[in-house]
């Protein structure tokens, strides 16, 4: 397994970085926050990303995609992390899109996947519920077959980019107990469906998230009955690795901003970057970031090349645990090294810290992922 970029990947990474820098990195996120945008991203920028083909990166060419993989998708999310870009690449393309590609009928792919690739529609995945603590098998939302169709009842929380989506991929229980790994089915619920109410959910990072309340809402079965669990687990792993790419880009940018501050800020007649204690802390940050780079690359390539489920889970869990620890370490250290000004809204470092807090918990924190890793290794 190679852990370096080939020429095509290096070109994609540079293009993505240039694109992110062109759209006022970080300042755009600040403006969306100040405007209290519930959508949380710019449709114009999202349309440009689709025109560049990035929304088709992980999908087969016969579906209108580019036939690439997670190794390339991570390069996009990494550049988005550097700029705190809030576009729904992970939620709509990597997460929901992979479920439609894996389980959808020809008609469902035409109705949802192709418009996603074109940037015309987006789905969000509604799989989490309150008090489920990251466990995708803990599902109390139910689906009942009525008159040849399905009716869904339950409440989904923390639906990433769920507000104002064109529809949702909903995990619902069709058999078994609330915590059984088997018995989960997936359904597509279109926006505006009777019995489906989506409300905006405020978050510390000002991104788009929602609560979805289903009261007998009609759902279109995606895949087989009781067969959604394994596909959902794999899709979560793919989205988790893409999120790790975003976290990697975020910590690299926070680190670079901090190093620049250490080079320019003077205290007691000297640049604070000359203080040995701060040099040691900066060195620790650098080492942890380089380690994250390796584990994220390894996890992405495992998803592309290795069909072994246990190894996939172990590699993804390892990457997310490491990135969760590092994103907190680096943003905490960055804020402290900036001193009092780091606490002010004038400096961007606080925006990185807020996003870091959300990323740490999304798809499972470090403790949860270490437990997943242990179980995958047979412990």
Cα 255 to Cα 331: distance, rounded to the nearest angstrom: 8
pLDDT computed for residue 107 by the predictor = 97
pLDDT tens digits, residue range 44-80? 999 999 999 999 999 999 999 999 999 999 999 999 9
Please state, in angstroms and rounded to a whole number, the distance separating the CA atoms of residues 26 and 28.
5
Residue 6 is predicted with a pLDDT of 86
In tens, the pLDDT along 231-289 reads: 999 999 999 999 999 999 999 999 999 999 999 998 888 988 889 999 999 999 999 99
Q: Which residues, at least 6 apart from 139, have a Cβ–Cβ distance to it below 8 Å?
A: 127, 129, 132, 171, 172, 173, 178, 184
pLDDT reported for residue 341: 86
Q: Is the pLDDT assigned to residue 343 strictly greater than 90? A: no
Helices marked H in 113-266: 114-117, 228-264
Average pLDDT over residues 335-344: 89
Between strands 270-271 and 266-267, the pairing is antiparallel
Q: What is the DSSP string of 73-134?
A: HHHHHHHHHHTT---SIIIIIIIIHHHHHHH--HHHIIIIIHHHHTTS--EEEE---TT-TT
How far apart are alpha carbons 106 and 103 in whole angstroms? Answer: 10
Phi/psi of residue 137, nearest 5 degrees: -80, -15
Over the chain, what is the mean pLDDT?
95
Q: Which residues pair with 144 in a beta bridge?
A: 151
Residue 362 confidence class, pLDDT cut points 50, 70, 90: very high
Q: Please classify residue 283 by burial: count the beta carbons closer than 10 Å to its beta carbon, then call 0-12 exposed, 13-18 middle and 19+ buried.
A: exposed
Q: Is pLDDT above 90 for 174?
A: yes
Token duo for residue 187? 């359904």
The confidence score (pLDDT) of residue 148 equals: 84
Residue in 214, 219, 209 with CA at minimum distance from that of residue 164: 209
pLDDT at 25 > cutoff 80: no
184: β partners: 173
The whole-number pLDDT of residue 298 equals: 95
What beta strand segments (E) does the chain contain? 123-126, 142-146, 149-160, 167-173, 184-190, 196-200, 209-222, 266-267, 270-271
Q: How many percent of the chain have pLDDT more than 90? A: 88
* CA dist., res. 214 & res. 5, Å (int): 44
Predicted confidence at residue 253, as pLDDT, reads 96
State the pLDDT at residue 55.
97
- Mean pLDDT, residues 141-149: 93
Backbone phi, then psi, for 73, in 5-degree steps? -60, -35
pLDDT at 21 (0 to 100): 83
Q: Round to whole Å and give the CA distance between 136 and 129.
A: 9
**Tokens 């890793």 correspond to what residue?**
373
pLDDT one-digit tens code per residue, 291-324: 999 999 999 999 999 889 999 999 999 999 999 9
Q: How far apart are CA 162 and CA 116, in angstroms?
A: 14
pLDDT band at 203 (very low <50, low <70, confident <90, very high): very high
Measured distance CA(82)–CA(63) in Å, rounded: 30
Q: Residue 111 pLDDT more than 70?
A: yes
Rounded to an integer, what is the distance from CA 164 to the centroid of its chain?
18
Q: Residue 1 has what pLDDT? A: 61
8, pLDDT greater than 70: yes
């Amino acid at each position: 397994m190679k852990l370096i970029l080939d020429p095509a990947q290096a070109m994609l990474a540079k293009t993505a970085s240039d694109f992110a820098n062109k759209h006022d990195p970080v300042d755009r996120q600040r403006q969306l926050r100040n405007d209290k945008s519930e959508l949380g991203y710019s449709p114009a920028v999202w349309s440009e990303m689709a025109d560049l083909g990035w929304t088709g990166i992980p999908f087969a060419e016969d579906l209108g995609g580019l036939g690439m993989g997670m190794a390339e998708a991570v390069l996009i999310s990494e550049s988005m992390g550097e700029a705190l870009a809030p576009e729904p690449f992970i939620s709509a393309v990597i997460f929901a899109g992979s479920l439609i590609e894996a389980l959808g009928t020809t008609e469902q792919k035409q109705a949802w996947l192709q418009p996603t690739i074109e940037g015309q529609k987006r789905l969000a995945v509604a799989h989490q519920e309150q008090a489920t603590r990251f466990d995708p098998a803990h599902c109390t939302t139910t689906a009942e077959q009525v008159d040849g169709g399905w009716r869904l009842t339950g409440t989904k929380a923390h639906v990433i980019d769920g507000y104002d989506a064109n529809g949702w991929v909903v995990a619902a229980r069709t058999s078994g107990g609330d915590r059984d790994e088997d018995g989960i089915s997936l359904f597509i619920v279109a926006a505006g469906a009777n019995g489906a109410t989506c409300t905006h959910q405020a978050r510390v990072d000002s991104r788009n998230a929602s609560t979805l309340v289903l009261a007998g809402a009609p759902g279109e079965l995606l895949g087989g009955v009781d067969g959604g669990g394994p596909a959902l687990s794999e899709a979560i792993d793919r989205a988790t690795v893409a999120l790790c790419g975003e976290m990697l880009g975020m910590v690299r940018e926070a680190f670079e901003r901090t190093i620049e501050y250490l080079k320019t800020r003077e205290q007691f007649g000297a640049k604070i970057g000359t203080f040995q204690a701060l040099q040691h802390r900066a060195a620790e940050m650098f080492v942890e970031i380089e380690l994250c780079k390796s584990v994220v690359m390894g996890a992405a390539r495992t998803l592309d090349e290795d069909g072994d489920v246990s190894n996939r889970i172990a590699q993804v869990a390892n990457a997310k645990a490491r990135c969760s620890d590092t994103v907190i370490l680096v943003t905490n250290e960055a804020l402290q090294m900036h001193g009092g000004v780091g606490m002010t809204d004038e400096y961007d470092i606080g925006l990185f810290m807020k996003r870091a807090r959300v990323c740490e918990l999304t798809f499972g924190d470090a403790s949860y992922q270490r437990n997943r890793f242990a179980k995958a290794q047979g412990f």
